[in-house]
Structures are given as structure tokens and as C-alpha cells.
Amino acid sequence: MSEPQTETQVLIAGGGPTGLSAAAELETHGIDTVIVEPRTYVSHTNPRAKLTNVRTMEHFRRLGLADDIREAANLPVDWSQEVVFCTSLLGDELARFDNVFGQNESEQYAETAQQIPQYLVEETLREGVREMSSVSLETGWRVESIEQDEDGVRATVVCCIERHSISEGERREISANYLLGCDGSRSTVRDQIGSSFEGDVNPRNNLGVVFRAPDLAERHHHGPAVHYWTLNNEIQGFMGRLDLEDKWWLIAVGVDDPNAVDPREIITKMAGDEVDAKVLTTDPWSARMLLVDNSRSGRVFLVGDAAHLNPPWGGHGYNTGVGDAIDIGWKVAAVLNGWGGPELLDTYEAERRDVHEDVIDISTTNMESSPADLISGELDSDENVDEDSYEDIAQEIYEKKKLEFHSLGLILGYAYDGSPIVVEEEAALPETGTVEYHPTSYPGSRLPHSWLSEDRSIYDLLGEGLSLVRFDREIDVSPFMSASETTSIPLEVVDVDHEDVARSYEQPLLLVRPDQHVAWRGSRCPDDAESILRRVCGYPVDDS
Ligand SMILES: Cc1cc2nc3c(=O)[nH]c(=O)nc-3n(C[C@H](O)[C@H](O)[C@H](O)COP(=O)(O)OP(=O)(O)OC[C@H]3O[C@@H](n4cnc5c(N)ncnc54)[C@H](O)[C@@H]3O)c2cc1C
């Protein structure tokens, strides 16, 4: 902990998963970044997010962090890909989902999802950014206030801990070209730019508990699962292991007074018997469905929980924040590196807002079919229920919870169609569902994934700027390449000589952005290649 750097290209307020991911993205484009973060170390008291989803893992792969995340995880991805519903952990099984959350290998994505508590993600990302030459992580400081003009942003940061040469409460000023407010749900940056949250808070109280229970894993007979949902008339919730030793988490849903309840009683009720358990932490919380009215003011952007909050069912919160970080990261970098146009930064809100709204809607639907709502009729943990009732309950569970455990349609299928920097086609984007992902290269979509060899993904070939993916070397790409030279927009031709793969891409020529989304596609180079390139990078173009 030293004096923070006083000038940088991008200042990031907040070193949670969103801020750290934004810094890693900016590093790939050579942008000088300072992260200001109050917490000097990452506490292991509360796991918060447990799921790093397929899309976030793909981003981490590109940023060189995916292997580190897997190594840090306590539950290997092949340990379990199942979710079990039961009357209690030691009771009867009601239903079972497999291949949950995209944890199984597939042609459709470059990385499987990974169960890993958020604190291990943050530690891994902290270690990762500390090794990055253009990122400086300043812990023990927080952003207090900001001001900006057309030349830049100045933030006053205040020291939060007493240290050798600097006293707690001392202030410094950091100047930057841009500031990313990644400072979480109580964002100071949001207040400073006069934005505010709109939406609802769910009145139901929930309680998170982390505990050690040395013999619990051996006592139940459901086998490995990433979640065990317990449904009985005394308590509803879900639980799982945090490691392969003795650490567990649980969330009890709809607890009347979470501050008064004895967490050991909750463990007993969810387990279905007395458990030898030591409670480590408790965390009462309520779900929030909030979206900021405005996520940009001039040179300042709100990213992650500072901009949107959703119920945690389905595990979308931090993953959506990482998606934001990637989107704003490459765009700010493009502008600072001189190839992003004057309208590029406006597209951050234009592209991400629909994603935020969808995530809030879908997470709310998941929450509304919470365990308490799934019990149709009497279901006691210690009472035998006839086969027919079990079958009815199982059916209801499959119908209502499918979306929560299988949502690749949302995670991989979201598209920026309608964005001003995407060249739309006359036909509309093919209908996409939320549950199943149907790959398409329609402009705005994530480039469909293919394995080119056992461990070589098509994504591994893409460049840091724009990529022109060509499935047929006969196609003349010189109009695009000379436009790239004239405009100084970085463009790399990526030849993919796999006929079997080419067919699924719908067109043989695809212009792909740094975030792996398709910006334009065609069967040959267009006559107006320069105007397409300029539009995709946020320059005004005359469409007439
Ligand atoms: C019970 C629960 C379960 C969840 N499960 C999942 C899940 O499975 N998957 C998922 O994707 N999400 C999940 N989430 C949501 C996830 O935890 C958040 O979405 C995620 O932490 C957001 O990351 P962030 O970096 O935007 O914000 P935060 O993690 O809140 O980080 C903000 C950072 O900013 C710092 N900060 C605060 N004020 C300042 C300031 N003034 N100046 C500088 N820095 C500041 C803070 O110290 C903090 O480090 C869950 C949440 C809960 C509560």
C-alpha cells in the first residue's frame, strides 16, 4: 500500500469482480488503469456468487485467466453437474437436473461454467491484475467524490486505513481520461453523477449461512450435486458444498426474522436431522430488482452492481457485471487508442440495457418459483408421501425450475441487434429462447463457437481489434483491408479452413468485434467496406 498513481487513462472505482475484469480487458488493449479499492484483502466470510457462467469463463479464457479460476476452485467442474431436489438433505429425492448451468463439455462454448465462490474469483483476479503491467491495484483507498469536464475526470480518493506513511482520512487526487464506477450496489459514483436506481425490493427475507459439518457429505445418499434444494413444510431453501472438505453454504428462503432465528435450527430442518455443525457466518438479505436510470454521465460509466441488481436465482449478477466490463472496456480502449469514434461510448448503455432488463426479468421469474412456491400440498420431511404426489411435485419442479438451471439461451444467445454499431439485415434476428441456445451469426450475436482441434477454439484465433473471419480464401478482402489502412482501425483477417465448421456460420465472411460479437456478415466484401468499418467503430456514417 503506497501513494496511488496520480494520473491514469482509466480510473476504476471498485475492485470487485466487475472492476477487476474491466482492468484485465483494458490491459489487453494496453490501457493504463488504476483500480481504487477499500478492502485490503478478500474476506472468505460470505461466498455470494458461486457460479461463474459459460460466457464469463469464455471472457476469462480470452483474458488469460480461465485456467487460474479452475485451479482456484475447490469443486472441480467434473465433480458434479447436477442439482437435486429433496424433502430434506437426508430425506427423499424429488427431482434431479443434470448438465446444469453449462458445466458439461459442448461444441457450443469454449469453456464450461465453473462453481467457485466469489471470494476465490476475486483473489484470483487480484493476483491476475497484479501481474499486468498497465494495471495498478490500490487497496485501502476509496473514491469519495468526482468532478469532470470535457478534458477528463478528477477523483478525490480517501485513505481508509492507517499505514506507515499515510494517515487514515488523508486525501489524494487522481486524474483520468475516463472513470468506471464498479463500486457495487451502494455506489458513490452513482450518487456523484446524479443517477439513481429504479425498481423494487422483494419483501421476503432470506438468510445465507456458511457452516462446517464434517460428516454431512457422508450422511446423505444423493451423491455429488452443486445444489440440494430442500422442500418441506417446515423450511425451504437450497444448500451446497463450498469445498470437498467440510464447508457448506445454505440459503433459507422466506425466513420471518432472519436476525432472531437460530441458524443451527435451520441447518437441522434443511438436513432433516441434527447435524454436527459449526456456524461460521450468517447473512440476511432480500432480493432487489433495480436498474439505474442512466449509466453514463460524460466520461463516467456505471458498471456491474452499481448499475443493476437482480435476484441471485440463476446466478446472473456478477456474470452480467463481467459482461458490462468487457463491453465498456474494449470501447473505452478503442477511443483511447484512437480508433473508436465519437459515438462508440454511447453504445455501452444502448447495448447493455436490454441485457440488464432481461436478466432482471428472468431472475425474478426464477425467484418467483422459489422452493416455497413449489410445494403443492402437504410435504413433510419425515412423512411418507405416495408415489403419485411425488411424481406431480417432480413434474412441477421440472417445469418451473428448468429456466434456472438451463439458461444458455440467455447467457450465450443475447444479441446486440438494433445497436447503432451493428449492421442489421433486412430479415430480423431469428427467434431465440431463454432456455436453449441456438447459434446464429446474425449481426449483433456472439460469434457461434467451434472447436478447430481438441483444445483450439475459434475464439483463440481472434485479434485484439476487429477480426475478419473468412471461411473461403477465394473471397477478396482487400476492400476491408485498405479501409482498415485508411482509417487506422485495426483489422486482422482470420482464415478458418474447416469446411465442416464453415456451414454452421451461415455466411463465409464475418466482421467480429473484440468482444466476439458479430458486427457485420456477408458472402463477399461489400462496396462500402470503409463505411461499415467506420460505423462498427462508432463514427457517424451517412446512410443515404
Ligand atoms: C446470496 C447471493 C448470491 C449470489 N450468487 C450469484 C451467482 O451465483 N452468480 C452471479 O453472477 N452473481 C451472484 N450474486 C451477485 C454478485 O455477488 C454481485 O452481482 C457481484 O458482487 C457484483 O460485482 P461488482 O464488482 O459489480 O460489485 P461488488 O462485488 O459489490 O464490488 C464493488 C467493490 O467496490 C468497492 N467499493 C465500494 N465503495 C467504493 C468506493 N467509494 N470507492 C472505491 N471502491 C468502492 C467495494 O469494496 C467492492 O470491492 C449473488 C449475490 C448474493 C447476495
Question: What is the DSSP annotation of 356-415?
Answer: HHHHHHHHHHHHHT-HHHH--S---TTS---HHHHHHHHHHHHHHHHHHH--HHHHTT--
Q: Is the pLDDT of residue 63 over 90?
A: yes
Fold of 7-77+111-199+289-363: FAD/NAD(P)-binding domain (3.50.50)
Q: Is the pLDDT of residue 1 over 60?
A: no
Q: Is the pLDDT of residue 533 over 50?
A: yes
Assign 371 a pLDDT band (cuts: 50, 70, 90).
low
Whether ipTM tops 0.90, in short, is: yes
Grid cell 465442416 in the structure block, residue = 500
> Distance between CA atoms of 182 and 329, rounded to whole angstroms?
12
Q: Indicate which residue's Cα is closest to atom 3 of ligand 1.
A: 48
Cell triple for residue 72?
482456484
Q: What is the pLDDT of residues 466-498, one digit of tens each?
A: 999 999 999 999 999 999 999 999 999 999 999
Least confident range from 242-246, 268-272, 395-399, 409-413: namely 395-399
Pocket of ligand 1, candidates 12, 183, 295: which has the most ligand atoms within 8 Å of its Cβ, to mutate? 183
Cell triple for residue 248?
457448506
Q: Is the pLDDT of residue 396 over 90?
A: no
Q: Indicate which residue's Cα is closest to atom 14 of ligand 1.
A: 49
Q: What is the pLDDT of residues 48-61, one digit of tens each?
A: 999 999 999 999 99
Q: Give residue 213 CA to ligand 1 midpoint distance, Å.
A: 27
pLDDT > 70: what percent of the chain? Answer: 96
Q: Give residue 393 CA to ligand 1 midpoint distance, Å.
A: 35
Q: Give residue 16 CA to ligand 1 midpoint distance, Å.
A: 6
Q: Which long-range contacts (CB under 8 A, 24 or more apart) does 104-107 make?
A: 107/449, 107/450, 107/451
Q: What is the pLDDT of residues 288-330, one digit of tens each?
A: 999 999 999 999 999 999 999 999 999 999 999 999 999 999 9
Quick one: which atom of ligand 1 is closest to the CA of 185?
A: 30
Nearest to 544 by CA among 528, 533, 526: 528
Q: Give residue 348 CA to ligand 1 midpoint distance, Å.
A: 20
Angle between helix axes 17-28 and 118-130 (nearest 10 degrees) is 30
Nearest to 139 by CA among 57, 35, 65, 243: 35
Longest Cα–Cα distance in the chain? 76
Least confident range from 240-244, 336-340, 367-371, 408-412: namely 367-371
Q: Give residue 265 CA to ligand 1 midpoint distance, Å.
A: 29
Q: Give residue 287 CA to ligand 1 midpoint distance, Å.
A: 14
Q: Indicate which residue's Cα is closest to atom 16 of ligand 1.
A: 318
Q: What is the pLDDT of residues 215-228, one digit of tens each?
A: 999 999 999 999 99
Q: What is the pLDDT of residues 406-436, one digit of tens each?
A: 999 999 999 999 999 999 999 989 888 899 9
Q: Indicate which residue's Cα is closest to atom 39 of ligand 1.
A: 183
Q: Whole-angstrom distance between the N-terminal and C-terminal Cα of the chain?
A: 56
Class of domain 413-536: alpha beta
Assign 370 a pLDDT band (cuts: 50, 70, 90).
low
Q: What is the pLDDT of residues 127-137, one digit of tens each?
A: 999 999 999 99
Contact 222, 93 (CB under 8 A): yes
Q: Give residue 126 CA to ligand 1 midpoint distance, Å.
A: 14
Q: Give residue 152 CA to ligand 1 midpoint distance, Å.
A: 27
Q: Is the pLDDT of residue 401 over 80?
A: yes
Q: Phi first, then psi: what are they for 17, rounded to 5°?
A: -60, -35
Quick one: which atom of ligand 1 is closest to the CA of 142?
A: 42
CA distances to 117, 263, 424, 457 from 63, in Å: 20, 40, 29, 14
Q: Report the pLDDT averaged over residues 436-454.
A: 96
Q: Indicate which residue's Cα is closest to atom 15 of ligand 1.
A: 317
Residues with C-beta less than 6 Å from any ligand 1 atom: 13-19, 36-39, 48-51, 118, 142-143, 182-184, 188, 208, 285, 304-305, 312, 315-319, 321
Cell triple for residue 384?
411418507
pLDDT > 90: what percent of the chain? Answer: 88
What single-letter amino acid sits at 299? R
Assign 2 a pLDDT band (cuts: 50, 70, 90).
low
Q: Is the pLDDT of residue 372 over 80?
A: no
Assign 233 a pLDDT band (cuts: 50, 70, 90).
confident
Q: Report the pLDDT averaged over residues 503-526.
A: 97
Q: Give residue 311 CA to ligand 1 midpoint distance, Å.
A: 13
Q: What pLDDT does residue 381 have?
A: 46
Quick one: which atom of ligand 1 is closest to the CA of 19?
A: 25
Domain ranges of the chain: 7-77+111-199+289-363, 413-536
